[in-house]
Amino acid sequence: MSAALSLESLQSQASSLSYRSQAFIDGRYVPAASGKTFDNINPATGKVIARVAECDREDVDRAVKAARAAFEKGSWANLSPSDRKKVLLRFVDLM
C-alpha cells in the first residue's frame, strides 16, 4: 500500500479539512436568511462534521431566482461543448 494512501495519511488530511457552513447562492457563500444552522453528523462516528446553514423557503427562493437568472443569461448554454468540457475537467482537477 502506498504511504500516500495509508489510513493514517488519510486521517491526517481529513483532520485538517475545513468546511463552509453557509449556503452557496448566486456565486457567494451566504448564511441562511433565518441565521439558523444544524449539525451535519458523520454517521460512522456520530461526531459533528460541521454546522450547516438551515435553509428554508426564503433561501430556496433566492437560489432558484439566481439560478433562473444565470440560465437566462446563457453563459453556460452558449459555450461550445468543447469549452464546457474544459470547464468541467478543470473542476475535476480542483476536486
Calpha distance 64→16 (Å, rounded):
33
pTM: 0.67
Q: Are 15 and 46 in contact (CB under 8 A)?
A: no
Q: What's residue 1's pLDDT?
A: 46
Q: Which residue has the higher pLDDT, 3 or 45?
A: 45
The pLDDT tens digits of the residues spanning 9-33 come to 888 888 888 888 899 999 999 999 9
Q: Are 19 and 49 in contact (CB under 8 A)?
A: yes
The pLDDT tens digits of the residues spanning 29-86 come to 999 999 999 999 999 999 998 999 999 999 999 999 999 998 999 888 899 999 999 9
3-class secondary-structure state, position 93: helix
